[in-house]
A and B are shown apart, each in its own frame.
Chain A
């Protein structure tokens, strides 16, 4: 990796998607989530959205379902390696994805409400999809 230039603001916005083992209790998932999020040393609390259990599009190992959690946070890049290491080691995490959440490169992102309403709207017109 090329060395990053010194930025005025050493934190970046990230979006993490966790897929937890759906066989776990909700309380266990909440605990794990809190522990993992705790590793990030966040200055301000993350926005967390629980999608809950949903079917995976394909089997991952023996898992057919997963418990999806989306988290948006602003963190220093330096905390991420340790965070991802913990994610990899955690047996309860089926899969995860951490991406930059800096969509402002020319296009403002859809707000969460917009996304939610889009999801709702598209739930209704399921049949006319081609």
Chain B
């Protein structure tokens, strides 16, 4: 029993480089709490997942994305 592999959404969208400034794109790959979504859930291929994770971390540093979402400070 093997599950069907999901197509990579990044490849499908024709994105060649994941820009850390594109917070709208990155927001699709984080959970409700702001964690990076695992690729087994999102279907992102390994290479893009690596790029994605770096991009999310840069975006967090620049306060484009939260480190923890839903936190009332």
The reply on A119 being an interface residue by CB < 8 A is yes
Q: Is the CB of A58 within 8 A of B73?
A: yes
Q: How large is the interface on B (under 10, 10 to 19, 20 to 34, 35 or more residues)?
A: 20 to 34
In the complex, how many residue pairs between chain A and chain B have their CB atoms under 8 Å apart? 56
Q: How large is the interface on A (under 10, 10 to 19, 20 to 34, 35 or more residues)?
A: 20 to 34
Q: Which residues of B contact A122 (CB under 8 A)?
A: 24-25
Q: Is the CB of B22 within 8 A of A58?
A: no
Given A108-B17, A110-B15, A115-B19: A95 and B63 interface contact (C-beta under 8 Å): yes
Residue interface bits A57-80, CB-to-B below 8 A is 1, else 0 = 111100000101010000000000
Q: Is the CB of B63 within 8 A of A57?
A: yes
A residues whose Cβ falls under 8 Å from a Cβ of B:
17, 19, 56-60, 66, 68, 70, 95, 97, 99, 103, 107-110, 115, 118-119, 122-123, 129-130
